[in-house]
Amino acid sequence: MSDAPKETPKKKGGMMKILLLIVGGLVLIGGSVGGAVFAMHAGLLGGSKAAPEPTGPRLVPKAEQKRVGSGEGAEGAKGGTKPPIGVGGDKYASNYYAMDKEFTSNLQDSVHFVQVGVAVSTPYDDSVIENIKTNEIAVRSAILMALGDTTEEQVFTSDGKKVLQRRIAKAINDTLKEKEGFGGVGNVYFTNFVVQ
């Protein structure tokens, strides 16, 4: 037998196993943190987020209606009056806009022509009025087209004028939907109406 000391076999895989356990643990922790961050941004964790603010026009409740002479809504009126309290009426405020220029058009299959002043109302905020102003040329063209499709019989009766109001409102809304993605005009009013 030999007197040489016996060498114990070295554990070749021991250091490698420790290293793999450390790297595996870091990957597991990193994956968990990344998944949690993703879930929070997706709204799956972390409580409820506030609903995103709508980007389109906003309906204006009657309580926020602008009053003539007040300069602001009823709550912050500078010396203005609060809306009268009553039963009935619209739930939302009416926002009015009178178009600056009058419209003149020939009537369909007639020697007569019509000249009208047009105003619109909307239950939405000022963004609908701003959209009308921004797209005034397209809106004016749509109104003139609707007037040009009007017959002589329609302009001489109240019922015919009401039909014309609805057609003009539809023409304005169709144009605004095409240009801005949202119409919003509720009613059309005639500020003057002349047939010659």
Q: What is the pTM of this model?
A: 0.63
Strand-pair category, 187-195 with 103-106 = unpaired
Kind plus residue range of the DSSP H or E element containing 195: strand 187-195
The residues, ordered by sequence, that sit 6+ positions from 115 with a Cβ below 8 Å of its Cβ are: 102, 103, 104, 192, 193, 194, 195, 196
The CATH architecture of the domain made up of 93-195 is 2-Layer Sandwich (3.30)
**Structure tokens given for 70:** 């007040």
16 vs 152, residue with greater confidence: 152
Give me the count of residues in the chain: 196
pLDDT attached to residue 136: 96
Where along the chain do its domains lie? 93-195
3-class DSSP state for residue 171? Answer: helix
- The single residue listed with the structure tokens 């178009």 is 99
Q: What is the pLDDT of residues 83-136, one digit of tens each?
A: 555 555 678 888 999 999 999 999 999 999 999 999 999 999 999 999 999 999
E strands, 42-123, are 95-98, 103-106, 113-122
**Residue at 168: amino acid letter:** I
DSSP conformational letter for 75: T
**Structure tokens given for 143:** 């109104």
